[in-house]
Amino acid sequence: MPEKTDEKYRNVSLRIPSNARYLKIVRSVLEAVGRMFDFQEHTIQAVLLATNEACANIINHAYKDEPNHFIYLDIYPSSERIQIELRDNGIKVAPEKIKPRELGDVRPGGLGIHLMRSLMDEVIFDQNYKPGNKLILIKKRSEKNDKHS
Amino acid sequence: MTSTLEIEINRNQNYVVISLCGEVDLYSSPKFRKQLIPLTQAKLPTIVIDLSKVSYMDSSGVATLVEGLQLIEKYKGNFYITGLTPMVREVFELSRLDSVFSIHESVEQLQRNQLIP
């Protein structure tokens, strides 16, 4: 059980290279934070997958698969929700250009945005952020099952 | 860094079983694709993908499976997926691909149902 610290001191920050081999580290950190703050397992898995998809999109689209850049993550767990902010310094990606594909259109790719929106309560593209991109993912605690800490 | 995905391939006379073990993500899915695509190019009549030991799969893993399905459908082969863990099943359901693939409980069930010898 985590100690009762002020919520503003629970922020965990992470910087990873824009290389897919580091995605496992992001998942491991999110899992640890989720468990530390008593989020339900289902909530943790949803956050983990949505954040993984967001990082994959940054690697593929903002950084065009170039591994010599960084992705910045800030994780904010609270009594109400868990929020993840992702920032990059890559090519500005217009949200309308990364619309999810129609699900009836069975083809490889185009699922990442759809999964993010399905799994999270809020997916916010901060279009004023410069340079690069800022994405905010929010998942609220499940009222019935997540314990508040 | 070692891969988080292990791949075992069992070839039989009329079918092949690809068993994945570990995590299928943007880093490891190219390794899976590298094994899968040549089997479709060789036009194997039946390919089974066993996911019973997969603890994590993201959209890149799903995309590889979709690509495999589309390639095998071109020559009217069979593409079966077995052993979905709850995590992987949820990704399939959210992607609405659970009705696109032929999903079965296990390789043994495919044998019992005579879908493979």
pTM for this predicted structure: 0.89
Q: A24: which chain B residues are within 8 Å (Cβ-Cβ)? A: 4, 23, 25, 27
Q: Which residues contact residue A128 at a Cβ distance below 8 angstroms, ignoring those fewer than 6 apart?
A: none
Across the interface, of A45, A56, A118, the residue whose CB is closest to B87 is A45
Structural tokens at position A34: 């989720």
Q: A52: which chain B residues are within 8 Å (Cβ-Cβ)? A: 25-26, 58
Q: Is residue B117 part of a domain?
A: no
Mutation pick from B31, B32, B60 vs chain A, by most beta carbons of A within 10 Å, is B60
How many domains would you assign to chain B? 1
Across the interface, of A20, A45, A53, the residue whose CB is closest to B59 is A53
Q: What would be the CATH architecture of the domain defined by A9-140? A: 2-Layer Sandwich (3.30)
Q: Please state the ipTM of this predicted complex.
A: 0.88
Summarize pLDDT for B45-81 with one digit per residue, the tens: 999 999 999 999 999 999 999 999 999 999 999 999 9
Q: Is the pLDDT of residue A111 over 90?
A: no
CA distance linking residue B105 with residue B85, whole number of Å: 10
Q: Is residue B103 part of a domain?
A: yes
Longest dimension (CA), chain A: 48
Summarize pLDDT for B12-54 with one digit per residue, the tens: 888 999 999 999 999 999 999 999 999 999 999 999 999 999 9
Q: Is residue B52 part of a domain?
A: yes
pLDDT of the residue at A110 = 73
Residue predicted with more confidence, B1 or B113:
B113
Q: Is the pLDDT of residue A149 over 50?
A: no
pLDDT of the residue at B96 = 83
Distance (Å) from the alpha carbon of B8 to chain A's nearest alpha carbon: 21
Domain ranges of chain A: 9-140
Beta bridge mates, B104: B82
What CATH number is attached to the domain comprising B28? 3.30.750.24
